[in-house]
Structures are given as C-alpha cells and as structure tokens.
Amino acid sequence: MSEQKAEQKKLIFSGIQPTGTFTLGNYIGAIRNWKPLQEEYRCIYSVVDEHAITVRIEPAKLRQKTLEAYAQLLACGIDLDKSLLFIQSHVPTHAQLSWVLNCSAQFGELSRMTQFKDKSQKHPDDINAGLFDYPVLMAADILVYNADLVPVGADQMQHLELARTIARRFNGRYGDTFTVPEGYVAPVGAKVMSLQEPAKKMSKSDENPNAVILILDDKDTIIRKFKRAVTDSETEIVFREGKDGINNLLTIYSAVTGKSIPDAEKEFAGQGYGTFKIAVGEAVADHLAPVREEYAKLIADKAYLKDCYTRCGAEALRYSQRILNKVYKKVGFVASEIR
C-alpha cells in the first residue's frame, strides 16, 4: 500500500496495560478485534508500561509482563507490516506531551475520575500523583498521534471524554493543533462474564481461578473450568432472562464458532448441561490453540521480540515527534537543535 493511500485511512490508537495473561473476556471483547481493524485503519498499538507503575509492581515482574503482553498481542494477530506495536516507555514523546497537557487539564476534572476513586480505595497506602494524573498521560497517548478513533469500553469512556475536552481546550487556546478523537465501538465483541458468578464480568483479578479462562490456558484446563461453570437448576439450553450462566456460555460459544445464538440453541436442543459445557470448552480451546502455539514461539525468541519493538518504537517516535514539535512551537518553547 502506498504511503498516500495509508494516509487517507483514519488512525486508531489503543493501549493495553501489561497486567498478565489476557482473559477470554479481554480477547473476545477487544483484542481479537484489533486484527481486522488493520485492514481498514492505520493502527498504532502500545503496551502502556508507564501506566502500570501507578500501583506498586516489582521491576522484574513488570519487565516480564511487558514482554509477555507484547508477545500475546502479536500472537493474537497484530501484523507489523500493517500496524505499529511498541512499548510506551520507549517513546518519550508521550510523557513530554503529558506535561504540556497537564497545563490544559483542570484539577476538578481529574478528581472526578471514577477509576481514580476506585483505585484510591484499593490502594489507600499509595495514592500517588501518578494515580491521580494518569488520565492526562492517557490523553497524551492518543493526542500525540492525532488519533481519529480510540477503541473503548464503558469503563474508559470517561477518560476518552477528558482527552476530547483537553484537545478542544488546547485548540481553543493555541489554534487548531489536535484531532478531537472519537470513540470506536467494535461491531462485534461480546461481553464475557465470570464462569462462577455469571452476573459479573470475567476479570483476571478474580480470586477464584475457575471463574476465568486465560488465553494461554491449555485445553485440559479450559475444559475443566467450563465443566465447573455455574448454570441453573433448569435443563433447557436457551438464551433468556434469568439464565445468566447459560446465556454466558451461549455467548462464548457463538463468539468462538461464529454461529448465531439461535443456531447454537438448536444445536444443543434436548442435550444436557454437562454435554453443552464440554462442547463450549472444546470450542474455546480449539479456537485459542493457534494463539497459544504462536505465543510459545514468540516468547522463546527474545531477539525477535526486541527487533520488533525497537523498530516499531523508532517509527512511533518519528511520527509523534512531529506532533510534539508543533505543540512546543504553539505554546512558545524555544526550538531545540539537540538531537
């Protein structure tokens, strides 16, 4: 594809924290959608390790999780011939722009961020300035590329709206500089619930390991977890109100097989819950098998991973530096010749 044609495509930015192995919920709801986006958009993806240190984490563990997250994203289908995938801390323009944007963000706006309130309650002994301010860094992640679109879930809409507010405020003060980003809601991406408490979202922080499917779980582990999935006291495999467990399993089965929920209901009509749960587990395990296999190859080849994130980081830096230079000029900084 020519550079001119690529430039005509809208740009999507998305970042993901290195918090461990992705869950089936992460995968179905968001990450697997990143692969098809590459065909329609210019895509810039980042493992946002700077965001990860707003809560305490051992340095060695952060390095390990960052590399694992990078390898998982490649294994899930990000194509470096079509997209950029880099490590946030390798591209200093994010942090540099964040400081400038801090001066266009209001204290009251940040204090109203729901996630700041939630994380402050979870970590009352470490309510640090980074925890308070990281939505501005998140805005910088997006605006430093002038992204048109940002894939968001409901829990991130408040942060995206702050980024939009900051962009408009900066543009109003200094002239047209930033693209005001829009939220991108994927046309597919079902919400996956806990296997043990199907009224709540699947989360890797769940203390019950049987509640969560991790994308790197082996086949036996996946099937065992599905066998233990909570259903109900009825016997009919149908999607309807009051059947949270069965609804969740039908949603998952539909997502990994491509079959509609009505077709899945017909397929399992008259069958028992036990048979159904095993079938869902097998379908999930088979769907994730290529991801597990590719990840195993990638994580074993540290030299290849280093080449990938170094090349992508350099390109992301070149792209974002142009926008940062424009911002610096707008706010009145003396141009630097230091390289």
Averaged over successive runs of 10 residues, the pLDDT of the chain (339 residues) comes to: 59 93 91 88 96 92 97 96 97 98 92 77 78 93 97 80 96 97 74 93 90 97 97 94 95 94 95 96 97 98 98 98 97 88
Same domain, 97 and 22: yes
Looking at the domain assignment, is residue 248 inside a domain? yes
| CA of residue 70 relative to chain centroid, distance | 12
Give the dihedral sign, CA 233/194/161/84.
Answer: negative
User: Could you tell me whether strands 11-16 and 182-184 are parallel, antiparallel, or unpaired per DSSP bridges?
Assistant: unpaired
Q: Which two tokens stand for residue 263?
A: 């077709």
Looking at the domain assignment, is residue 196 inside a domain? no
Same domain, 139 and 269: no
Side-chain-side CA neighbours of 269 within 13 Å: the count stands at: 6
Side-chain-side CA neighbours of 74 within 13 Å: the count stands at: 26
Looking at the domain assignment, is residue 199 inside a domain? no
Same domain, 51 and 173: yes
Same domain, 122 and 261: no
Residue 184 DSSP class: E
Give residue 130's pLDDT.
83
Contacts of residue 91, Cβ cutoff 8 Å, sequence gap at least 6: 46, 313, 316, 317, 320
Are 192 and 29 in contact by the 8 Å Cβ rule? The answer is: yes
Same domain, 97 and 235: no
Give residue 2's pLDDT.
40
Same domain, 149 and 279: no
Same domain, 12 and 124: yes
Give residue 151's pLDDT.
87
Give residue 297's pLDDT.
98
Give residue 128's pLDDT.
84
Q: Say which residue the tokens 């082996």 belong to.
A: 218
Query: The domain containing residue 252 runs over which residues?
Result: 209-296
Q: Which two tokens stand for residue 211?
A: 């509640």
Same domain, 147 and 224: no
CA angle 91, 97, 101 (to 5 degrees): 150
Q: Say which residue the tokens 């095993």 belong to.
A: 278
Q: Say which residue the tokens 């402050």 belong to.
A: 120
Looking at the domain assignment, is residue 169 inside a domain? yes
Read off the CATH number of the domain in which 255 is found: 1.10.240.10
3-class DSSP state of 325: helix
Looking at the domain assignment, is residue 203 inside a domain? no
Same domain, 94 and 164: yes
Looking at the domain assignment, is residue 177 inside a domain? yes
Give residue 154's pLDDT.
65
Same domain, 151 and 17: yes
Give residue 1's pLDDT.
36
Looking at the domain assignment, is residue 249 inside a domain? yes
Count how many domains the chain has: 2
Same domain, 47 and 165: yes
Report H helices in the chain: 3-8, 24-26, 32-40, 49-52, 59-75, 93-102, 107-111, 114-122, 129-143, 157-174, 219-227, 244-257, 261-267, 273-299, 302-331
One-letter amino acid identity for 84?
Answer: L
Same domain, 147 and 252: no
Residues taking part in catalysis: 119, 201, 204
Give residue 35's pLDDT.
87
Read off the CATH number of the domain in which 98 is found: 3.40.50.620
